[in-house]
């Protein structure tokens, strides 16, 4: 360890949102750093930062507008030195970081699949015609309507616990959550059915945790190098290139998934109209090192198929 060792008197500050899932991800990051460097828990401080996406719960994300709804305030704290690193759910991350910040560390990826969650049904086919399904994700809404245009899809904001409460209150008969989040929270009692990516392609980078740092902070760079997962980084390079060349955000319905098999990488992607009436998809395999280029080519191909003004 060539850098200044964090101590309880001078802890390494980890920035995060305050939801139970965000805290679980920050705690996982801390645990991996503790193990890598044989450091005590109190050599780290978990710093909770309230972000716009969490503060405004009574409006759909698309109405709040802009990118970085779940990251902006955390990145500001990183830039002003209030925290040393920031822990993010990668599916919330814009494809470009503010000047001076780098996102180059990823933890091993969790289950990428969506979970169908309902107190009464096992899957989409079990829902009666006209049933109400809640989701705050434009991707999930679009994919759902593409398969079941008869369903009534309503806005469903909030963390995992809030969404489960809404189900119990009868606001909707079903909703969707990420399997990764349920696994990280050890919520084995949640009535869910994992959805195969062939049926519902997940969000780009779903299930991945990313750690952001200041570009000139060599101590953070050295510490994080010990916990970076290379295969996750390779997969996200392809997926986030696809997203970047679509200019994607929380306001655009996009699905994407890269998977590794030996020395090759399979990339699947799709773009959808928000009402589910049009879906354009592609599926390619190539060398792992060509992942980012594969993402670019796929994005351009789907945009050409969809035509101008698709989103």
Q: Between vectors from CA 177 to CA 47 and to CA 116, what angle results, nearest 5°?
A: 165
Edge-to-edge strands of the sheet including 174-178? Answer: 152-154, 132-134, 174-178, 114-117, 192-195
**Which residues, at least 6 apart from 156, have a Cβ–Cβ distance to it below 8 Å?**
134, 135, 136, 163, 166, 171, 172, 175
Supply the DSSP symbol for 196: P
Nearest to 284 by CA among 266, 269, 296: 266
φ, ψ for residue 297 (rounded to 5)?
-65, -40
Beta bridge partners of 254: 271
Supply the DSSP symbol for 98: P
Q: Annotated catalytic, 261?
A: no
Tokens (6 digits) for 186: 């050890």
Number of alpha carbons in the 13 Å side-chain half-sphere of residue 307: 3
Quick one: which H or E segment has residue 282? strand 279-287
Beta bridge partners of 286: 265
Supply the DSSP symbol for 90: G
Phi-psi region of 83 (alpha: psi -120 to 50; beta: other; left: phi over 0): beta
Q: For residue 148, how far is the Cα from the chain centroid? A: 25
Check 54, 92, 114, 217 and give the catalytic one.
Answer: 92
Supply the DSSP symbol for 49: -
- Catalytic positions, please? 92
């Amino acid at each position: 360890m060539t850098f200044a060792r964090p101590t309880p008197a001078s802890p390494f500050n980890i920035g995060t949102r305050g939801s139970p899932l965000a805290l679980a991800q920050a705690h996982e990051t801390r645990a991996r750093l503790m193990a890598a460097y044989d450091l005590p828990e109190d050599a780290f401080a978990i710093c909770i930062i309230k972000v716009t996406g969490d503060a405004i719960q009574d409006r759909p994300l698309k109405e709040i507008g802009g990118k970085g709804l779940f990251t902006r305030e955390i990145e500001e704290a990183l830039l002003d030195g209030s925290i040393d690193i920031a822990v993010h759910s990668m599916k919330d991350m814009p494809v470009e970081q503010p000047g001076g910040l780098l996102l180059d560390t990823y933890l091993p990826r969790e289950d990428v699949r969506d979970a169908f969650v309902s107190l009464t049904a096992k899957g989409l086919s079990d829902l009666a015609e006209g049933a109400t399904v809640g989701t705050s994700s434009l991707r999930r809404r679009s994919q759902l309507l593409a398969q079941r245009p008869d369903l009534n899809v309503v806005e469903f904001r909030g963390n995992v616990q809030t969404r489960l409460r809404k189900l119990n209150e009868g606001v909707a008969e079903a909703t969707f959550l990420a399997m990764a989040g349920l696994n990280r929270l050890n919520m084995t009692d949640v009535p869910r059915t994992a959805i195969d990516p062939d049926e519902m392609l997940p969000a780009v980078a779903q299930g991945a945790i990313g750690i952001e740092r200041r570009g000139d902070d060599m101590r953070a760079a050295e510490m994080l190098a010990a916990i970076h997962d290379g295969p996750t980084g390779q997969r996200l390079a392809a997926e986030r290139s696809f997203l970047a060349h679509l200019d994607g955000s929380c306001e655009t319905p996009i699905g994407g998934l890269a998977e590794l098999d030996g020395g090759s990488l399979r990339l699947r992607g799709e773009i959808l109209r928000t009402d589910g009436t049009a879906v354009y998809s592609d599926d390619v395999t190539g060398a792992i090192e060509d992942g980012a280029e594969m993402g670019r080519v796929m994005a351009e191909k789907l945009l050409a198929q969809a035509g101008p003004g698709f989103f």
